[in-house]
Structure 1
Amino acid sequence: MKIILQRLQINPKFLGLIFFFAYLDSIRSRVSPGQLVDWYILTPESAVFSLIQALVIFFILQFSFSWLQLSPQVSIPWKKSMFSFGKGLIIFLLVSNAFTMALALAFGTWERNYQTYIQLSGNISRILDFVIYGGFYLALLLFQQFKSHQRQLKDYEVALAQSKITHLKQQLNPHFLFNNLNILDQLIEENPKSASAFLHNFSELYRYSLKNSDCQLVTWQEELEFAESYFQLIAEKFGKAYEMKITLDNPQGKLPPLTLQLLIENAVFHNYGTVENPVKINLTLGERLTVSNTRIPFKNPRHKGGKGLANLREQYRILSSKPIFVSEENGLFSVSIPFIP
């Protein structure tokens, strides 16, 4: 039986449903108004015969529909499907009539069974059985094809999302490298000793960047540790012109790699801090990650940039259904990002 089920691409539950339907139908056909109800009505032999007949119909339909290749992107060829269904019906009628003829000849009941009205009634019944049980089987095949293609589409979407995230990270790594090499270049001219310390710290940070380049997410603890080390680089270059405060309020979840670094860098890049009037950067990790900074725009604003924040938005569009909020009011620029479970 297991081989038959595998061959027909059906499971025991579906077969049980067919038997249950056949059993109820046999009871219905035996009940008529005014007839006494007895145990014969509940006997299952008719349902067993109907189940065997249904299996024959399934085999014929599987052969008839073997050419179909269904796809979610392509409309189902109903005309060809109905042609194959009709072809299966003809094959079923030929097989079932040949079988009854063989039985009639074997048991000598030809004259009794092969009267015109009996044959007409029998073939109408066979047609109805084929349409009913064949309809069940066709619906099952179409459902299985649909589920299979849905799984393929889901696998494709996951692979595509992973590919996009990898591409976005490949954009961020050169961005991180280029900006910090610019700082290093300035330090070499201004303060060679600081440049040496900066280079050492930068190499450690870039190692972290490379290590997590294949990770979609990292823990908030890893990101925070990286952000603190990154801010040390900022302090090497700008001294106390930029200040950072961290507030922890029971954060839970993960973040894309380099998220905090990108937001801190964004605050430094777009604001002119001095020792007398420093840019204050606040990191708040609670239900969401919020990075805010006081706005002290340059007198001659730099180019808009914004590639890093746009990159982060795109990563979150793929990884989470929760949005990123960006606001600016009362001299405070703020970016609020959800944690990802």
Structure 2
Amino acid sequence: MNYSVFFQNKYRYWFILALATYTYVNTAVCRVYDYFQMPIEWYQAYLSIILITLITWEWSRINQPFFERWFDGEKNIIKRLGLFFVFGLLGSIIFTCMIVVAFEHWVLHIPMSLDNPLKLTLTYTSLINLLFHLVNAVVFFMGKYKSKQLEAEELLRMNTQAQLQSIRSQINPHFLFNNLNVLSSLVLKDKEEANSFIEAFSKVYHYILRNQDKELIELQKEIEFLQPYVYLLQQRFPHSVELKTEIDERWKNTYVVPVALQMLVENAIKHNVLSSNRPLEIKIKANGTNDLEITNNLQPKLTKEPSSNIGLSNISQRYELITGKQIKVNSNEKEFKVSLPLIEVNAYESSNH
């Protein structure tokens, strides 16, 4: 970490000039020179203040790299800043005494005195040295805080990406297992139907491989993806599943989590009885609010299958990690409904620039 940001600032000489000017104006307004009977012209006083301020700054700037090398490491920060301040103070006092003596002898032509001029000048030197080192410490700790904050944000981002990758990896095995079982039975019974199934299966699987690493995807693409997926469902459960979509045009350009619809439909099939006499009705609707509603009628199985909680938990975690929003789950005696937040196009695109 660079500790020399403050003293090495490219605008330091402007800062020194501004501080010296401010100091002189205050001494002039308060008539300090008249009060202490100091025989000095205004430009001489102004020049001496500029010179002392400059030397105090430059002494610390030149010596700071040595203290950084001698007291490197997190444990030596306070010791380094403290000794750096003391060393800067001692050096600036010595230089100030030399300047005052030379000024009295060569400019004012008066005998050297330890009275008011030197005392006032040393007081100013001590105060500005303290000011410089306090600001330097503040700048240092602010930079350190910002650096730690950036590190924390980077760790959080990496952790989020790792969680997302772990969650996404849960999708493929579940999808493959169900459809490969259907395919194996079709190959033995009807080769032509098996070819059609393979074609639809390849489209669905290609969509999953191409889009599962994306954070969000357009709702229109998710709806199009359902067409070959519905065909796969019809092969698995002939005349037992009814899927209806009701999506207004205005919502088709919004975003959802990839493969969320497929997982919710699969989840509904897993936990309900399916038969041609009692088909499972699944409705996907977006026509009034900023949510996409996926609803199915409840006809639960008498023997519940052990749940791994991959479906809803997977979608919920991805929504929370990617958008900070949460899905809504509601159920009653007749139906089960999941509401997915629809992400506006502009909001999502702007967050990824």
TM normalised by structure 1 equals 0.80
Q: Name the structure 1 match of 2:294.
A: 291
Task: State how far apart, in whole Å, the 1-side matches of 2:185 and 2:105 are.
Answer: 104
Q: Name the structure 2 match of 1:196.
A: 195
Q: Name the structure 2 match of 1:26.
A: 24
1:104 Cα deviation from its structure 2 partner? 5.4
3-state SS of paired residue (2:141): helix
Q: Name the structure 2 match of 1:56.
A: 58
Q: Name the structure 2 match of 1:334.
A: 337
> Which blocks of at least 5 consecutive residues in structure 1 are unaligned?
none
Contact 1:287 1:338 in 2 (8 A): yes
Task: State how far apart, in whole Å, the 2-side matches of 1:35 and 1:9 are.
Answer: 33
Task: State how far apart, in whole Å, the 1-side matches of 2:186 and 2:318 are.
Answer: 33
Q: Name the structure 1 match of 2:205.
A: 206
Matched to 1:180, the amino acid is N
1:182 Cα deviation from its structure 2 partner? 2.7
Task: State how far apart, in whole Å, the 2-side matches of 1:329 and 1:177 are.
Answer: 31
Q: Name the structure 1 match of 2:351.
A: none
Q: Name the structure 2 match of 1:81.
A: 81
Q: Name the structure 2 match of 1:300.
A: 303
Are residue 92 (structure 1) and residue 84 (structure 2) matched? no
Task: State how far apart, in whole Å, the 2-side matches of 1:245 and 1:113 are.
Answer: 100
Matched to 1:302, the amino acid is E
Matched to 2:206, the amino acid is R
3-state SS of paired residue (1:276): coil
CA 115–15 in structure 1, closer or farther in 2 if over 3 Å, else same: closer
1:192 Cα deviation from its structure 2 partner? 4.7
230-239 or 75-84, larger mean C-alpha shift: 75-84
Mapping 1:156-171, distance limit 5 Å: 156-171=155-170
Matched to 1:279, the amino acid is L
Are residue 277 (structure 1) and residue 278 (structure 2) matched? yes
Task: State how far apart, in whole Å, the 1-side matches of 2:341 and 2:16 are.
Answer: 49
- Count of aligned pairs between the two proteins: 328
Task: State how far apart, in whole Å, the 2-side matches of 1:247 and 1:293 are.
Answer: 14
Cα RMSD (Å): 3.7
> Which blocks of at least 5 consecutive residues in structure 2 are unaligned?
35-41, 349-353
Task: State the identity %.
Answer: 23
1:331 Cα deviation from its structure 2 partner? 1.8
C-alpha distance after superposition, 1:135-177 (max 9, x if no partner) = 1232223222322332233233223322321222122222222
Task: State how far apart, in whole Å, the 1-side matches of 2:134 and 2:228 are.
Answer: 67
3-state SS of paired residue (1:115): coil
142-151 or 290-299, larger mean C-alpha shift: 142-151
Contact 2:284 2:295 in 1 (8 A): yes
Q: Name the structure 2 match of 1:134.
A: 133
TM normalised by structure 2 equals 0.77
1:51 Cα deviation from its structure 2 partner? 5.8
C-alpha distance after superposition, 1:155-204 (max 9, x if no partner) = 33223322321222122222222232233234445655433321221112
CA 52–77 in structure 1, closer or farther in 2 if over 3 Å, else same: closer
Task: State how far apart, in whole Å, the 2-side matches of 1:315 and 1:87 are.
Answer: 56
Following TM superposition, where does structure 1 have runs of at least 4 consecutive aligned residues deviating by more than 6 angstroms? 33-36, 68-71, 108-111
Contact 1:327 1:334 in 2 (8 A): yes
Task: State how far apart, in whole Å, the 2-side matches of 1:210 and 1:148 are.
Answer: 37
3-state SS of paired residue (1:150): helix
